[in-house]
């Protein structure tokens, strides 16, 4: 038995303020004490969740309410440029009422592209339509080799039939030999033509490039948001931004980007393969046509804060153009085509046909030694 002066120990959870004497709670059996505690704990959890959810919602509302639309667009551009795998699909419509040739007055292009910066691969599937003639073309860049496939020339034959029927047999033979067949341009041929830089796409931005982009935009904020609207792009909730472009600030901003690694690489490549390496500087010196008008709209995916659609409309006194691009950033896979034929083999088969057209002035290339790209320069 405990001594007469023995006092029961006081548990820590029963301590009250020093001014109050300790109160001993009655002891209950375990089965009757845990249920109230569980209910109390559940209530506290519910209150905490509601509080945190409300606080998060309030913080989000405060952030979005004070953030300028231009700042949201800058974030979207930054997120988009950092994507390593990009898929795009869209249309380009062009009309020129002053074109000398009817075939150039209206041109429509549909396209789909995929790029993988990590694996340095690229693919494009497009169709060019003009004056009823449709020419489907597929391109791939894999392992520093280039592949091309041209679709049926049937619609081209119909147009040639009206203007120069003597060429129809030639088109039939060319169509039979190359239509819907992959043709491989080997990397060795491209190197001999000093054009390997054309296959170094897609270029990647470095962290220094991102810093340069951000610093150059300060003081040259050439994008101003006119209006915004909540819309859906291919099932994804998005925000539409209708913007205007300050041409003077845009030009100043672009001038500051000459030190971007990707720009330097591109300019060096143009100087290697172009007959007119200074054309970039000539384009920069061109003054804009006062009759030109442009409309720009961009959509930003609400969940990912990346650009998922772009629309541009432009016009001047003689022409109009509409461009629509939809973007996504899922994983892409660009593979080497099966059964691709070497370019020299195809040229060897086409040489006799071309000789007939040119009156026998074309000498067939030696498929073992000649490089059809050697000495080629691009305008």
Q: Which two tokens stand for residue 97?
A: 């009422």
End-to-end CA distance of the chain: 109
Q: Which two tokens stand for residue 86?
A: 């990009």
Q: What is the pLDDT of residues 206-236, one digit of tens each?
A: 888 888 888 888 888 999 999 999 999 999 9
pLDDT bracket for residue 244 (50, 70, 90): very high
Whether the link from the prior residue into 202 is cis, omega within 30° of 0, is: yes
Angstrom distance (rounded) from CA 260 to CA 254: 10
Q: What is the pLDDT of residues 297-330, one digit of tens each?
A: 999 999 999 999 999 999 988 889 999 999 999 9
Angstrom distance (rounded) from CA 326 to CA 80: 13
The answer to whether the CB of 330 falls within 8 A of the CB of 85 is yes
Q: How many CA atoms lie within 13 A of 181 on its CB side?
A: 16
Q: What is the pLDDT of residues 17-36, one digit of tens each?
A: 444 444 444 444 444 444 44
Largest CA distance in the chain: 131
Would you state the pLDDT for residue 291?
65
The answer to whether the CB of 110 falls within 8 A of the CB of 130 is no
pLDDT bracket for residue 284 (50, 70, 90): low
- For the structural domain made of 86-328, what CATH number should be given? 2.50.20
Angle between helices 168-178 and 343-357 (to 10 degrees): 170
Which of 166-180, 329-343, 364-378 has the lowest average pLDDT? 364-378
Would you state the pLDDT for residue 55?
39
Task: State the average pLDDT over residues 106-111.
Answer: 94
pLDDT bracket for residue 334 (50, 70, 90): very high
Domain ranges of the chain: 86-328
Percentage of the chain lying above the pLDDT 70 cut? 68
Q: Alpha carbon of 54 to those of 40, 41, 47, 66, 99: distances in Å? A: 21, 20, 10, 18, 62
Higher pLDDT residue, 285 or 10? 285
Percentage of the chain lying above the pLDDT 90 cut? 35
Q: Which two tokens stand for residue 204?
A: 């990647």
pLDDT at 162 over 80: no
Task: State the average pLDDT over residues 264-280.
Answer: 70
Sheet holding 121-130, edge to edge: 223-233, 236-245, 293-301, 307-315, 319-328, 85-96, 106-116, 121-130, 133-142, 145-150, 182-185, 341-342
Q: What is the pLDDT of residues 174-185, one digit of tens each?
A: 888 889 999 999
Would you state the pLDDT for residue 308?
97
């Amino acid at each position: 038995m405990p001594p007469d002066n023995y006092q029961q120990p006081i548990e820590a959870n029963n301590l009250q303020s020093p001014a109050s004497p300790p109160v001993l709670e009655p002891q209950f059996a375990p089965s009757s004490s845990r249920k109230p505690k569980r209910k109390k704990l559940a209530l506290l959890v519910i209150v905490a969740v509601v509080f945190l959810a409300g606080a998060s919602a309030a913080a989000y509302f405060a952030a979005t309410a004070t953030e300028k639309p231009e700042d949201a667009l800058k974030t979207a551009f930054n997120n988009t440029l950092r994507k390593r795998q990009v898929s795009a699909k869209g249309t380009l419509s062009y009309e020129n009422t002053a074109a000398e040739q009817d075939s150039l007055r209206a041109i429509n292009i549909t396209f789909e592209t995929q790029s993988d910066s990590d694996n340095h691969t690229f693919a494009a599937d497009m169709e060019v339509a003009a004056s009823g003639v449709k020419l489907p073309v597929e391109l791939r860049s894999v392992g520093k080799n280039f592949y091309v496939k041209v679709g049926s020339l049937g619609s081209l034959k119909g147009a040639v039939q009206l203007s120069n029927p003597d060429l129809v047999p030639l088109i039939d033979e060319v169509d039979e030999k190359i239509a819907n067949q992959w043709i491989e341009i080997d990397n060795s041929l491209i190197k001999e033509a000093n054009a390997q830089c054309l296959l170094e796409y897609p270029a990647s931005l470095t962290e220094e490039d991102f810093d340069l982009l951000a610093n150059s935009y300060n003081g040259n904020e050439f994008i101003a948001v006119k209006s915004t609207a909540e819309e859906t792009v291919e099932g994804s909730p998005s925000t539409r931004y209708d913007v205007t472009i300050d041409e003077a600030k845009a030009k100043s901003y672009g001038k500051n980007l000459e030190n971007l690694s990707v720009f330097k690489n591109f300019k060096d490549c143009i100087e290697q393969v172009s007959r007119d390496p200074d054309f970039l500087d000539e384009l920069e010196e061109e003054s804009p046509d006062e009759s030109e008008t442009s409309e720009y709209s961009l959509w930003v995916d609400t969940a990912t804060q990346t650009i998922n659609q772009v629309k541009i409309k432009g016009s001047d006194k003689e022409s109009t153009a509409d461009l629509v691009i939809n973007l996504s950033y899922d994983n892409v896979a660009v593979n080497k085509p099966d059964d691709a034929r070497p370019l020299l083999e195809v040229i060897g088969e086409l040489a006799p046909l071309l000789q007939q057209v040119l009156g026998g002035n074309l000498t067939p290339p030696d498929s073992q030694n000649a490089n059809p790209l050697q000495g080629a320069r691009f305008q």
